[in-house]
């Protein structure tokens, strides 16, 4: 089976449509996160696991069927907030299955799949920190992840409201959690569900609490190269089929309502009404 370039599509210098590339190399390159529990992370056996990866595996199966490569090789490539877009753009990664927010500004650089999760940006802090909402951060040290929506919001808030915060930009969730847990920051701003993951990995999860008025809604999607309608169609159709089926509830409960590795802690993060509506009518719309 051969895959030809769609008329009018552009794939960048020296590149080719993703399915044609996969067909010729018998290889798909998947971008993943290393510490984004419970979406995409590496377990104690060095396997990439998580809610994002379970959905990603469905896409990989669809690619195997489409290319008629039942023995398709999968190369897992760890990505960070800083390099994930460039690795998709330059062809190193065919599909990034992590926790990337679909933003209109990013759509000029990459394409996004249908949204598979909606989170809100809040704060993780110690129960006795005295921090209840974002105004309480004035004069304090706050950690967030570099290259994220949260970092942009936090820096804008600091500048416009003259809050005199000291902002630490962590490279990933592992570094952010350690910065918070060791007392170098009073609070950690990121997506609520990922902060729940960070809390689950602390030495004493009961000591930490999620607080604050949500500052944004984050639509998570998988990233792929732009102007490749055939590959995007396959990804979207596969994800939509899963999200509209009862299987998505089982998949969701596995990661958000039951104990998950590595510490076998239950996130106790029920499916929101927003996410339920999304699964009933999947779409790839950005919130901003």
Question: Where in the chain are all domains bearing CATH 3.40.190.10?
Answer: 18-118+218-280, 120-217
pLDDT 10s digits, 230-241: 999 999 999 999
Question: Out of 3.40.800.10, 3.90.45.10, 3.40.190.10, 3.40.640.10, which CATH number does the structure's domain 18-118+218-280 have?
Answer: 3.40.190.10
pLDDT 10s digits, 210-263: 999 999 999 999 999 999 999 999 999 999 999 999 999 999 999 999 999 888
261 exposure class (CB count in 10 Å sphere: 0-12, 13-18, 19+)? middle
pLDDT 10s digits, 59-93: 999 999 999 999 999 999 999 989 999 999 999 99
Contact 268, 87 (CB under 8 A): no
Q: Let me know if domain 120-217 sits in CATH 3.40.50.300.
A: no
Q: How far is residue 287's CA from residue 285's CA, in Å, rounded to a whole number?
A: 7
């Amino acid at each position: 089976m051969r895959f030809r370039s769609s008329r009018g599509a552009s794939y960048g210098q020296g590149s080719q449509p993703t399915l044609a590339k996969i067909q010729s190399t018998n290889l798909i390159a998947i971008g993943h996160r290393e510490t984004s529990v419970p979406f995409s992370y590496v377990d104690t056996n060095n396997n990439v696991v998580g809610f994002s990866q379970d959905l990603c595996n469905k896409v990989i199966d669809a690619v195997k069927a489409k290319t008629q490569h039942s023995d398709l090789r999968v190369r897992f490539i760890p990505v960070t907030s800083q390099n994930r877009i460039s690795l998709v753009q330059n062809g190193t990664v065919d599909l990034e299955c992590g926790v990337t927010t679909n933003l209109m500004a990013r759509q000029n650089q990459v394409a996004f799949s249908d949204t598979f999760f909606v989170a809100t940006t809040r704060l993780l802090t110690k129960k006795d920190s005295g921090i209840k909402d974002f105004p309480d951060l004035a004069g304090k040290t706050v950690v967030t992840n570099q290259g994220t929506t949260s970092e942009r919001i936090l820096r804008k808030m600091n500048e416009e409201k003259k809050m005199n915060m000291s902002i630490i930009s962590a490279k990933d969730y592992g570094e952010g959690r350690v910065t918070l847990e060791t007392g170098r920051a009073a609070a950690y701003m990121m997506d609520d569900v990922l902060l729940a993951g960070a809390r689950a990995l602390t030495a004493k999860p009961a000591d930490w609490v999620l607080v604050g008025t949500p500052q944004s809604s984050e639509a998570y999607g998988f990233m792929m190269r732009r102007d490749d309608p055939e590959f995007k169609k396959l990804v979207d159709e596969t994800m939509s089929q899963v999200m509209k089926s009862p299987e998505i509830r089982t998949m969701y409960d596995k990661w958000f309502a039951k104990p998950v590795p590595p510490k076998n802690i239950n996130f106790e993060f029920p499916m929101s009404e927003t996410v339920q509506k999304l699964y009933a009518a999947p779409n790839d719309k950005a919130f901003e």
